[in-house]
Amino acid sequence: MSTDTPASAPAESAAERYLAVQRSDEFAGLRRALRGFVFPMTVAFFLWYALYVILSAYARGFMGAKLIGNINVALVFGLLQFVSTFVIAWLYSRFADRRIDPVADRIRAEIGEVTHEHGPRG
Amino acid sequence: MNTVLAAEAGSTTARNLTITLFLIFVAITLAITVWASRQTKTATDFYAGGRSFSGFQNGMAIGGDYMSAASFLGIAGIIALYGYDGFLYSIGFLVAWLVALLLVAELLRNSGRYTMADVLAFRMRQRPVRTAAAVSTITVSIFYLLAQMVGAGALVALLLGIKPGTTFLGMDAGTAKVATIIMVGALMIIYVTVGGMKGTTYVQIVKAFLLMTGAIVMTLLVLAKYKFNLSSLLGDAASASGKGSAFLEPGLRYGVEAPGDALKTFYSKMDLLSLGIALVLGTAGLPHILIRFYTVPTAKAARKSVLWAIGIIGTFYLLTLALGFGAAALVGGQAITAQDKAGNTAAPQLAEALGRDFFGGSLGGATLLAIIAAVAFATILAVVAGLTLASSSSLAHDFYANVIKRGDASERQEVTVARVSALVIGAIAIALSIYAQSLNVAFLVALAFAVAASGNLPAILYSLFWKRFNTSGAVWAIYGGLLAAVVLVFFSPVVSGAPTAMFPKHDWHWFPLSNPGLISIPFGFLCGWIGTVLSKEHDEDKYAELEVRALTGAGAH
């Protein structure tokens, strides 16, 4: 138990504690959940944005095609980038509130006493 | 004769009104700064505003920090002169926030303390990594500062109505520009040295509110003129430009096709891709944006502030469409380039045209011009304060406290050094800005983005997500990416060998692209990888601590 740890060696105990937490199943689950969301989402929005930039460079005919009045594909495609950004931000916020925060809070509470050893200067 | 007199009277009114409004803004922000200085007692107060801001407040402040002269003056100018291509900036600047939201903001908030280097150096040897991070923070911030000061210089000649051959308070246009740059520099130094992060944050919140209000009012007026029919606004802008529907399509400014010159066309298209990648990857590497995440108490609040920021910034960038195309239709490219070759004055000129139309003649025009010009000055001041704070924090906390003093400096010493650093960096920025006045500010900011994306982003992402990453990797990533970006810019047509270059009469350029991102960003990532595998160093315990703290917020400051 942590209360048995000699006060003279708090640094080692903190390091061991973090290492133990990092190797725990609960933490591995948290990492997997976070990376499982943010990595694919990053790839997705990056490719979607890259597609927009590449079409702007190489598909001028397509981008210039008029849809309604003077509103062309380029403008709509650009506005869709706004929509996708807002949607992804909203999805992430919902995901983090539900799937990340509760687990992170639980793990933080479990290692709560370690944090005090950092003191105000940390 | 009468119209000339009326115009004269209008411009004198505008001049007085702008100066009055601007002085009011300066008085209010200085009062806030003095108030904030009384609340600033510890280093955490100075560097991170006591971590006491709410998600919404910080979201507004991020908006105020991010929506720079480049966003307001630069993008509107590029859209007004080149049409659709300016919109690319708006999109890139916004989408970039997803990198910050998904990969950086919360993890950085949890594991860092005052500067970007807190995270980069967490599991590394402190001195080399912090030195590299300080060098890179200051380089990026100075590029960015230049852009803002150039914007201020461009504005002042318009605002004070100083035409070639005439003077104001005995100054001609050139002298007035230099005087403005010095005044903006002096104010930013005061905000930062006196108010620290708290003062700077409130200045940014006030500015975000003013800028959003100004942009919304102008957009409503532009749309009202076209009976809220976007298509007829676009049609009018296209015909006023003399370029027809090409004005509404990509290709007039970037990725220009040179018939019969395949190589030139290829370079031009690569330049477009290069700009695109620099914009989207730059934001999460900008030190003045990253340190804003430290001003809130928790990672959840950091997330909330980014969500607010995305909402505010996204709305603003949608408005740039109306501002830019509105300026093209109602002011016209010729009138804009006559005032400022790079188009930086399109938005205030649009304000003048709208005021004339809606609020009765030249007096109305002068009034709206004065209001929008004062907003633009507020915009510039808030951003330069953020940039100066980021670089002086890094110089004091990273270089002085952790490299020179090896972590032995007292809080008091650190904050004193930060204040002195703000003075020095402000002075350097003022001196350099005087030489960069012919460049478009959105374009200059794009260069800062490229440098940030090349020098900082690889090291940040490797630090947070790559177990094997080490001191050697961090140092290689930062210097490699930074040097590649700066060297390529130096040998690009931006600096020499083109009519619009900083040194138009000389030519030492050999790099064909004006934005280095396409080469320098992958190069930064590659350097980080090479540096890492060349060294055997690996601190397993510290990585465990970093990862656990970053993901859970345990031990967060």
* Residue A3 belongs to a domain: no
* pTM of the shown model: 0.92
Instruction: Write the residue in A49, A101, A118 that is nearest to B555 by C-beta.
Output: A118
- Letter string b/e over residues A80-113, b meaning 16 or more CB atoms within 10 A of that residue's CB: ebbebbbebbeebbebbeebbbebbeebbebbee
Pairing mode, if any, of strands A66-68 and A71-72? antiparallel
Q: Judge: B272–A57 Cβ closer than 8 Å, yes or no.
A: yes
pLDDT band of residue B360 (cuts 50, 70, 90) is confident
Which of 13-32 (A) contact B at CB < 8 A? 14-15, 18-19, 21-23, 27, 30-31
Per-residue pLDDT, B440: 67
State the best of A41, A49, A79, A111 to mutate against chain B, taking most chain B CBs within 10 Å. Answer: A49
Q: Hey, which residues 304-323 in chain B have their CB within 8 Å of chain A?
A: 306-307, 310-311, 314, 317-318
Residue pLDDT, tens place only, B117-169: 999 999 999 999 999 999 999 999 988 888 888 878 777 777 776 666 667 77
8 Å CB contact of B311 and A81: no
Predicted confidence band of residue A119 (pLDDT cuts 50, 70, 90): very low
The amino acid sitting at A111 is I
Does B435 score more than 80 pLDDT? no
pLDDT of residue B108: 97
Over residues B2-42, the pLDDT tens digits come to 444 445 555 677 678 878 888 898 899 899 999 999 999 89
C-alpha separations of B125 from B84, B402, B479 in Å: 47, 11, 16
Nearest by CB to A70, from B94, B231, B545: name it. B231
Q: Would you place residue A37 in the very low, low, confident or very high pLDDT band (cuts 50, 70, 90)?
A: very high
Task: Count CA atoms closer than 13 A to B101's CA, side-chain side.
Answer: 33
Query: What is the three-class DSSP state of B85?
Result: helix
- The count of domains in chain A is 1
User: Is A81 near chain B, with CB under 8 Å?
Assistant: yes
Residue A75 lies in domain: 10-116
Q: Which residues of A touch B257 (CB under 8 A)?
A: 60
Domains within chain B, CATH numbers bracketed = 2-438 (1.20.1730)
Asked if residue A91 belongs to a domain, the reply is: yes
Please report, rounded to a whole number, the percentage of residues in chain B having pLDDT higher than 90: 69
Query: Is residue A122, in this structure, part of any structural domain at all?
Result: no
Asked if the structure places residue A4 within a domain, the reply is no
pLDDT of residue A2: 42
Q: Is the pLDDT of residue B401 over 70?
A: yes
Mean pLDDT within B239-253: 92
- Chain B residues touching A35 at Cβ < 8 A: 465
- Whether residue A61 is contained in a domain is answered as yes
B554 touching chain A per CB within 8 A? yes
Q: Would residue A21 count as lying in a domain? A: yes
Q: What is the pLDDT of residue A7?
A: 46
- Chain A: give the shortest CA distance to residue B470, in Å: 18
Q: Sort out which chain A residues have CB atoms less than 8 A from B246's CB and list them.
A: 64
Q: Cβ(B529)–Cβ(B466) under 8 Å? A: no
Q: Hey, what long-range contacts does B11-17 have (CB within 8 A, 24 or more apart)?
A: B11/B161, B11/B366, B12/B161, B13/B363, B13/B366, B13/B367, B13/B370, B14/B159, B14/B161, B14/B352, B14/B365, B14/B366, B14/B367, B14/B369, B14/B370, B14/B373, B15/B159, B15/B160, B15/B161, B15/B168, B17/B366, B17/B367, B17/B370, B17/B371
Contact of B73 with B151, CB cutoff 8 Å: yes
In a domain, A121, yes or no: no
Give B451-500 pLDDT, tens digit per residue: 999 999 999 999 999 999 999 999 999 999 999 999 999 999 888 888 87
Rounded-to-integer distance, Cα B478 and Cα B492, Å:
21
What's the average model confidence in pLDDT over A46-62?
Answer: 95
| C-alpha–C-alpha distance, residues B43 and B414, integer Å | 8
Whether A72 is in a domain gets the answer yes
pLDDT reading at A50 higher than 80: yes
